[in-house]
């Protein structure tokens, strides 16, 4: 299984230095397209996506988190750090299960 990162250019650069495949994106439309394409690849087991990009395509991210077992989708901070005032993963999961 492979790992892919969807992030801004600077965050992708940091992961690329560690040998991880990345997909730098600009904007929600491009992020949505890339996420859909990666989801279709059968050998990807984990997609890391920055919090800010995930927030821009929240409905699509939530449907993947709730609807499929693979690939696993994990939100991470970008090079600017965590989003201030953001709900914890536990709080988000409880809210998603209530839908």
pTM score over 0.85: no
Q: From CA 4, how far away is CA 22, in angstroms rounded?
A: 5
Q: Does domain 2-97 have CATH number 2.40.50.250?
A: no
Q: Positive or negative, the Cα torsion across 84, 73, 7, 22?
A: positive
- 67 versus 23: the higher-pLDDT residue is 23
Checking if the pLDDT of 99 tops 70, the result is no
> How many residues does this entry show for the chain?
99
Residue closest to 60 by CA, chosen among 25, 28, 22, 87: 28
Contact 78, 50 (CB under 8 A): yes
pLDDT tens-place string over residues 32-48: 999 999 988 989 999 99
Per-residue confidence (pLDDT) for residue 23, from 0 to 100: 96
Domain ranges of the chain: 2-97
């Amino acid at each position: 299984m492979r790992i892919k990162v969807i992030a801004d250019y600077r965050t992708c650069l940091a992961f690329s230095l560690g040998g991880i495949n990345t997909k730098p994106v600009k904007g929600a439309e491009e992020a949505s397209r890339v996420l859909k394409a990666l989801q279709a690849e059968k050998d990807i087991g984990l997609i890391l996506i920055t919090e800010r990009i995930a927030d821009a395509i929240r409905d699509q991210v939530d449907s993947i988190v709730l609807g499929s077992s693979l690939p696993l989708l994990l939100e991470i901070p970008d090079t600017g750090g965590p989003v201030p005032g953001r709900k914890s993963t536990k709080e988000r999961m409880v809210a998603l299960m209530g839908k």
